[in-house]
Every structure is written in C-alpha cells, then in structure tokens.
Amino acid sequence: MELRNKYNIPSHTVITIAGTVGVGKSTLTTSLANALGFRTSFEKVDTNPYLDQFYADFKRWSFHLQVYFLAERFKEQKRIFEYGGGFIQDRSIYEDTGIFAQMHYEKGNMSEVDFQTYKSLFDAMVMTPYFPHPDLLIYLEGSIEDVIERIQRRGRPMEQNTPIDYWIEMHKRYEQWINAFNTCPVLRLNIHEYDLMENEESIEPIIERIGYMLAQTAAAKKFR
C-alpha cells in the first residue's frame, strides 16, 4: 500500500525541512518526496549568483544574498500555492530571517537600515495570500561534530574554507531558534534515528510520525 495512504497523509500537505547547513535536509527532502509521491522545492545552490562571493566577503554581500534568497523562496512559495500543496520543501523561509539574516545583522555584516529594509520586505511577502504556513516543519538535529563532518564530506569549497566558528555559532542559533518557534507544528528528528544511505526503509517510521502529528493537529483544530 502506498505509504501516503497507509498513514493518512492528505495529498495537499506541505512539509518543510529545517536545520543547519549540512545536516541532511536535501537528502531527506528527496526520500520523503519519493516515498509520498510529492513534489520537491529545493534551494538552488549551484546557480546562486551571490553565494561564493558572500562566503568570501560577508560584509559586502550579506544584504544582496538575503534579498536574493527571499525572492527565490517567495517564487517557490507561489509555485507550491499554485499546485495546491503536495510538497516537501528543503529549508523554510523562517530560517532565512530567523537564523541567517539575524546572525549577519548581529555580527555587523548587515547595516541597521539594510536589515530593516530586508525585514519589511519579508513582512510584506508573508502577508500575501501565497503564504500559507506549512502543515509541518521537520527539524533535523545532529551534533556539531556530525554536521561539520558532513559539510567537509560534501565538499563545497566555499563551505570547507569557512572557519569552524561560523558553523558552531549557526548550530547554537538553530537550537535557540527552534525552541522558540511556534508558527506551525514541529516534528524533531535526530539524524541518528534514521539512515537513508544504508536503509531506504528507514523512511517509513518517519512517515508514520508525520501521519500521527498531522492527525493530532487536525483533531486539535476541530476543538478550537
């Protein structure tokens, strides 16, 4: 039986995968979408015109990169809306603002006025009808050691050449951010709870947990 039906996951569901760089979002996005018969929405890293320059000079390129990511994320949001859902999304727009933009602003890589401009753009986008919140955010958590090992193994030079402190700070910020996040239901998944490389079937217990959380959320809505 198709896993989506087995665990009663509605065909219009939108699930976003959150977590720090290298933790395994894209890998899980692909596996979940295949298992559920959903479409994917990926961040495009190779065609990003700012990313390499940004890693070489945060101060010069932070604002440009954030505006670029926001525009790309918004276009994807619109695409998901137009299809009527049935998507797995690799990274949420909430991380752009809550993690990356915030961190680079606080570190002095983005000026006050640039940060305010960025935030007002974000707020205006979120208020449009294209912006339903996801039904579920899956938060991937792993130790900083595992994350750094994965970043090194994946081998994007711009990330390999970035000081370890950057990844340590981001990892800490992610933990604080997710503890305060309440925009939509959250399923926390430790990266040692599954292994999609060695055992494709480890996706099924994840789907079972997704089905359970979606059912709980639907039941809670009925009583509101």
Ligand X SMILES: Nc1ncnc2c1ncn2[C@H]1C[C@H](O)[C@@H](COP(=O)(O)O)O1
Amino acid at 193: E
Q: Is 95 exposed, middle or buried (0-12, 13-18, 19+ CB in 10 A)?
A: buried
Q: Is 156 annotated as a binding residue?
A: no
Contacts of 98 (CB under 8 A, 6+ apart): 177, 181
The yes-or-no answer on residue 90 being catalytic is yes
Q: Which of residues 27-56 bind ligand X (CB under 6 A)?
A: 43, 45, 51
Q: How far is the CB of 219 from ligand X (least distance, A)?
A: 33
Which one of ligand X, ligand ADP, none interacts with residue 33, CB within 5 to 8 A by kind? none
State how beta strands 136-141 and 39-41 pair.
unpaired
- Rule CB under 6 A: say whether 24 interacts with ligand ADP: yes
- Would you give the binding string for ligand X spanning residues 99-118, x where CB under 6 A is met? -x------------------
Q: Taking CB under 6 A as the rule, does residue 23 contact ligand ADP? A: yes
Annotated catalytic residue: which of 46, 52, 57, 90?
Answer: 90
Token reading at 98: 């809550």
Closest CA to 196 of 20, 22, 28: 28
- What span, in angstroms and rounded, lies between the C-alpha atoms of 70 and 114? 14
CA–CA dist 101, 58 (Å, integer): 11
Q: For ligand ADP, which is the closer residue by CB, 114 or 196?
A: 196
18 binds, among ligand X, ligand ADP, none (CB under 5 to 8 A by kind): none
Active site residues: 90
Which residues sit at the interface with ligand X, rule CB under 6 A?
21-22, 25-26, 43, 45, 51, 65-66, 69, 91, 96, 100, 159
